Amino acid sequence: MKYTLIALLLVFNATGAFAQKVDSFHSGIKMKDIFWADGGMSFARGIPGASITYNYNVTRFLGLGAGAQVYDFHATMTNYQPIPALFWDVRFNIRSRKKSQYFLFLDGGLDIYKHNDSYWVDGNNYYYVRDDNGSYYGTGIGYFRPQTNRGWGHYVSLKLIFNHYQANAFNTITREKSIEEMENGTLVVSFGFKF
């Protein structure tokens, strides 16, 4: 009986210590409100940009939120400047209870810019951007490692960002006018902090 009690005390103490350790490490996973802030560079122009995203963890594996970013890329064939975007975010958390965590995300929203009256030629067609602003969407993958008891830490991500827009086209041979759907995008690597 004496040895049984000692064995039970040892097991319960070890289990309790392990549970406290796991709870302190994974307390960040229980966070519902999460901010992702990063800075990075687009491969299109090599000029730094930044983004911030708020996520609400609906489940351990799924977060929904919204964000804003500014990256310099060719949003259209005639717009070369930093392009702000406002977007909705869906984030999938992979291995959310491990030290090494991964995430996938999908974004959709609005690129904000003023179009200009410059045109470009492609084959027999002349094009110019029809309207201000465009539709933004992006997708990416990232790696995150918690570094505090709250689950905060650094992350790195690789994402593709795109601008979808309409352009007026004029064919110099057939003399026909048309409206065409177009897309421009770039690859972005970013480093950030989750808190």
Task: Give the pLDDT confidence score for residue 104 in this predicted structure.
Answer: 98
Task: Give the pLDDT confidence score for residue 117 in this predicted structure.
Answer: 81
Task: Give the pLDDT confidence score for residue 50 in this predicted structure.
Answer: 97
- Phi, psi (deg, nearest 5) at residue 14: -65, -40
Extract the residue ranges of the chain whose pLDDT is less than 70.
1-30
Sign of the torsion formed by the C-alpha atoms of 56, 58, 60 and 66: negative
Q: How far is CA 182 from the centre of its chain?
A: 22
Task: Give the pLDDT confidence score for residue 30 in this predicted structure.
Answer: 60
Question: Which H or E element spans position 125?
Answer: strand 125-129
Give CA–CA dist 157/131, Å, rounded.
31
Give CA–CA dist 191/71, Å, rounded.
14
Topology given in CATH for the domain delimited by 31-194: Porin (2.40.160)
Per-residue pLDDT tens for 91-144? 999 998 888 999 999 999 999 999 888 999 999 999 999 899 999 999 999 999
Task: Give the pLDDT confidence score for residue 19 in this predicted structure.
Answer: 37
Q: What does the domain layout of the chain look like in residue ranges?
A: 31-194
Task: Give the pLDDT confidence score for residue 41 in this predicted structure.
Answer: 94
Task: Give the pLDDT confidence score for residue 4 in this predicted structure.
Answer: 38
